[in-house]
Copies of this chain bind each other. A is one copy, B any other.
Amino acid sequence: MTAAKPSPKAGARAGGRGRPSKAKGLDLKETILDAAEGLFARHGFHGVTTRQVASEAGVDTALIHYYFGAKRELFDAVFLRRAEILNQAREASMNAYVAAHDPATMTVEGVIEAFIEPLLRISQDGGAGWKSYFALVAQVNNTPAWGGETMARFFDPVVHQLVETLKTLRPQAEYRDLYWCYQFLTGSMMLSLSETGRIDSLSEGECHSSDLEAVRQRLFSYCAAGFEAVIAKGGK
């Protein structure tokens, strides 16, 4: 059991006497996270070695442990880095939708769009790092061993916000139905965001998994119609 973490003190960054200055180290820290993110997204946690990460980042293996400790802690750091940004964007989007509409003009599709749209936008405008990140989340989402726990830890609050908003919009809906529909939604959404290329070969070039605009044009109405159908059918 390692008593004291060998990583550097949180406050101090670089240079002498504990004063932050050039923050050169931080650049490397981000470089390592970027490299790890891309590799973990492609090959999963166990499919990547710390040496691969170090090589990709152009640093020594030991530096990874210096900054992040064990390999699993590196993975958590990768996962955490963008999770907070993501949650804030989604929360803001849903709050904005609720604020911009009075209850009468709110629609299920509008709420769902407010829930999903931030992810599509970030994936389209955020660069390769975000693409990798979404692929990583999709993989974790389907990992029985520790996926459920990890997803819950990072993403439960915003999901509850979605469910509660839908519940106020459709008071007669059962929570059971809303949770199941959310599961269907998240399965579709994460598979689309992970851009596996499967639809490209399946459709023989008719569709491209990188075409998130096509996803946007279909996923919102698809999910909304699904929700309404399940709610309408009710308990039975």
Contact = CB atoms under 8 A, between A and B. Distances in A.
Nearest to A224: B229
A66 interface: no
Interface stretch (A9-17, A41-49, A56-64, A89-97): A41-49
A26 interface: no
A123 interface: no
Interface string A132-176: 000100110111110111011000100110000000000000011
A196 interface: yes
B218 A177 contact: yes
Tell me whether chain A's interface is mostly helix, strand or loop, or mixed: helix
Given A188-B184, A192-B183, A202-B156, A197 B138 contact: no
User: Interface size bucket, A side?
Assistant: 35 or more
Copies of the polypeptide in the assembly: 2
A199 B226 contact: no
B183 A151 contact: no
A221 interface: yes
Given A143-B44, A202-B156, A179 B207 contact: yes
B198 A180 contact: no
Interface in A1-48: 41-47
A148 B200 CA distance: 9
Nearest to A153: B201
Contacts of A86: none
A168 to B, nearest CB: 17
A219 B183 CA distance: 10
B201 A148 contact: yes
Nearest to A198: B148
A222 B181 contact: yes
